[in-house]
Chain A
Amino acid sequence: MASVEVRNLSRSFGTFKALDDVSISFEDGGFYALLGPSGSGKTTLLRLIAGFGYPDQGHIAIGGESVERVPLEKRNIGMVFQSYALFPNMNVFDNIAFGLDVRGVPREDAAREVRRALELVQLSELETRRPHQLSGGQRQRVALARAIVINPRVLLLDEPLGALDKALRLDMQVELKRIQREVGITTIFVTHDQEEALTMSDRIGILRAGQLVEEGAPEDIYRRPKTRFAATFLGEANIFEGIWTDGRLRLADGTLLETAPGAGRGATGEPGCCLIRPEQVRIAGENDGGTGNRLEGRITRRLFAGNWTTVFVDYQGKTIRVGQANTDFLKLEDGSKVTLAFSGSNTIPLQS
């Protein structure tokens, strides 16, 4: 188990810059998600840490040891592939034993280790099955057991749940988290699914076009993102654009929005934007006064999703989403005028 340090890492494929000067540190025992759209460089970063190819520039250290020129098979990392990459010619036991075998671990010791890994992933009764006889979730567990049985310094997961259906995915999220805690291994996993990143990880790194845009704890990034990209990529977002005026944002119609203090605030006269999450917006009665930001709009559409209702409100030609676990919304009619209220402390200034 070890920490991972990445410094100024760059990698190009032809003229395409897959990674552009990325620095990030992963602490020992943490669970990290690398999140981003496809082509953002998250998989490239993971593969460079694993040792599939070498960086053009920059340094990678695992447990303080510089590894950027160490070949993959000598890095002692555990990797789980999106396709699981289970060896089709071996049964579950032999798949898991493979890494111990090639290290020359004696058969009996290996068997013990394998059994323990099987127990950990709760597959003990399936050790003689072949990969094609397993369900998607079971394959995933075998891939995980195979990766951790070699006692790697770091566990790398490339979209590990991407091939599973939704219900199974939720189960596996819990399962994966449990196993990671039990083993206590530094884990880095790549995903394009923001919900997965939020629920599972201790820290999230958001990548875009080869650059690390933002990094931090899930709750912080969700509640107080620093950048417009992170705000819109992670969760639903209402973004207001305007001109900064003494820490407040002046919208096109002249309305001034109170905002929370933050680095996103620009100097007076600068253009800028800020975020308000749909669940922080409230629909106020005509006369229930109060402080904070207030906007008048007209309901255009309501979307009922069981435990949640989203109302789309038109404000000066811009659609604002209001979301609440409140079915009273359903009584409102399309076209009716409403006042939207939200506090300044939840209105987050963003760097674009």
Chain B
Amino acid sequence: MNGNSTLAAHRSQGMKAAQLLFPAYLWLVLAVFLPLSAMVFFSFVTEMPFTGKPWSMTVANYAAFFTTGIYAKLLLSSLRLAFEVTFWCVVLGFPAAYVLAKVLKGRSREAIFLLVILPFWSNGLVRVFSWAMVLRSGGILDTLLNAVLPFKVDIDLIYSYPAVIIGLVHSYVPYIVLTCYLSLQAIDDSVIEAARSLGASRFTVLRRLIIPLSLPGIVAGAVLVFVPVIGSFMEPRILGGRTGTFYGTVIEDQFVAVFNWPLGAALSFILLAVVLFILAAASPVMRRSA
């Protein structure tokens, strides 16, 4: 008939696709993308509009971040927390993933893999809470250790920085195990054997083959840990007590205690910028795996 028919067929495909896609994406736009964009707007106002109070546009909320120094300092301490948690997660998670992928076989591998990622799908709040009980002074850990050890120990980690680290590592280490396991499993065993047959030592194989090949998995896992940890507020609150003031908890305060929503929005948006920067920086490495 004519050359337009292909185009028409293409368009009708698009129409059919649109019918199926529309509800889901409308929902995402309404509940995620519009809110995120709206937050930009609300971060530039003096008072929340629609409350009856007079309001105007301002950059004061961002000025507060850059001039007072307190928020920037908290952001830095959140970043430091995220680095430390990520570090420990990799240190614990990568070797475990390696053992799972290359040492264990068959059913025991399947079962242990499931056991490792299972907590990650259970309630995070409750898991953090369980640590609070273990770590507090006069808690289970003291009692148990004192029953075994001849000398008196007093473990009072609750409401301390290490407690926050322990809780967060506990929460996020399954991510690292999962992503590293997937990329380690993709490495053909014969590649490792070939390297060994060429005379490479175990350490050389690890350094020259295994780590470079599983790097996308490590980076993906690290990002999956790092990003939520910078924005964490529940874990520091429960396990950190007084020492648990981080960037996330300050944002929480703006919304539930101080009720300075515009400042909260500005602080959230700055955090979002940091997060997007990290995701963008890591994406070239992560894409290699895909």
Task: Assess whether B1 is in contact with A57, with CB atoms less than 8 Å apart.
Answer: yes
Task: Assess whether B2 is in contact with A54, with CB atoms less than 8 Å apart.
Answer: no
Tell yes or no: B20 within 8 A of A by CB.
no
In the complex, what's the smallest C-beta–C-beta distance from A259 to chain B, in angstroms? 44
Tell yes or no: B5 within 8 A of A by CB.
yes
Tell yes or no: B3 within 8 A of A by CB.
yes
Please measure, in the bound complex, the distance between the C-alpha atom of A68 and the C-alpha atom of B1, giving whole angstroms. Answer: 9
In the complex, what's the smallest C-beta–C-beta distance from B17 to chain A, in angstroms? 16
- Per-residue CB contact flags for chain A residues 32-66 toward chain B (1 = under 8 Å, else 0) read 00000000000000000000011111000000000
In the complex, what's the smallest C-beta–C-beta distance from A74 to chain B, in angstroms? 15
- Per-residue CB contact flags for chain A residues 52-89 toward chain B (1 = under 8 Å, else 0) read 01111100000000001000000000000000000000
Pairs A–B under 8 Å by Cβ, sample size 16: A12-B6, A53-B9, A54-B5, A54-B6, A54-B9, A55-B1, A55-B5, A56-B1, A56-B2, A56-B3, A56-B5, A56-B6, A57-B1, A57-B2, A57-B3, A68-B1
- The secondary structure that dominates the A interface is loop
| Chain B hits for A55, CB < 8 A | 1, 5
Q: Of residues 193 to 234 in B, which have CB atoms within 8 Å of A's CB atoms? A: none
Which B-chain residue is minimally distant from A13 (CB atoms)? Answer: B6
Q: How large is the interface on A (under 10, 10 to 19, 20 to 34, 35 or more residues)?
A: under 10
Which B-chain residue is minimally distant from A58 (CB atoms)? Answer: B1
| Chain A hits for B3, CB < 8 A | 56-57
| Chain A hits for B2, CB < 8 A | 56-57
Which A-chain residue is minimally distant from B9 (CB atoms)? Answer: A54
| Chain B hits for A56, CB < 8 A | 1-3, 5-6
| Chain B hits for A57, CB < 8 A | 1-3
Q: Which residues of B contact A (CB under 8 A)?
A: 1-3, 5-6, 9
| Chain B hits for A54, CB < 8 A | 5-6, 9
In the complex, what's the smallest C-beta–C-beta distance from A19 to chain B, in angstroms? 12
| Chain A hits for B6, CB < 8 A | 12, 54, 56
Which A-chain residue is minimally distant from B7 (CB atoms)? Answer: A56
| Chain B hits for A53, CB < 8 A | 9
In the complex, what's the smallest C-beta–C-beta distance from A333 to chain B, in angstroms? 47
Which B-chain residue is minimally distant from A53 (CB atoms)? Answer: B9
Q: Which of B2, B3, B6, B9: most chain A CB closer than 10 A?
A: B6
In the complex, what's the smallest C-beta–C-beta distance from A171 to chain B, in angstroms? 38
| Chain A hits for B5, CB < 8 A | 54-56
In the complex, what's the smallest C-beta–C-beta distance from A289 to chain B, in angstroms? 64
Which A-chain residue is minimally distant from B4 (CB atoms)? Answer: A56
| Chain A hits for B1, CB < 8 A | 55-57, 68
Closest 4 CB pairs of A and B: A56-B6, A54-B5, A54-B9, A56-B3
Please measure, in the bound complex, the distance between the C-alpha atom of A55 and the C-alpha atom of B8, giving whole angstroms. Answer: 12
In the complex, what's the smallest C-beta–C-beta distance from B184 to chain A, in angstroms? 31
Known: A12-B6, A54-B6. 14 other contacts (CB 8 A): A53-B9, A54-B5, A54-B9, A55-B1, A55-B5, A56-B1, A56-B2, A56-B3, A56-B5, A56-B6, A57-B1, A57-B2, A57-B3, A68-B1
Please measure, in the bound complex, the distance between the C-alpha atom of A149 and the C-alpha atom of B17, giving whole angstroms. Answer: 32
In the complex, what's the smallest C-beta–C-beta distance from B172 to chain A, in angstroms? 38
- Per-residue CB contact flags for chain A residues 1-28 toward chain B (1 = under 8 Å, else 0) read 0000000000010000000000000000
Please measure, in the bound complex, the distance between the C-alpha atom of A54 and the C-alpha atom of B2, giving whole angstroms. Answer: 11
| Chain A hits for B9, CB < 8 A | 53-54
Please measure, in the bound complex, the distance between the C-alpha atom of A159 and the C-alpha atom of B9, giving whole angstroms. Answer: 27
Please measure, in the bound complex, the distance between the C-alpha atom of A57 and the C-alpha atom of B3, giving whole angstroms. Answer: 7
Please measure, in the bound complex, the distance between the C-alpha atom of A68 and the C-alpha atom of B2, giving whole angstroms. Answer: 12
Q: Which of B1, B3, B9: most chain A CB closer than 10 A?
A: B1
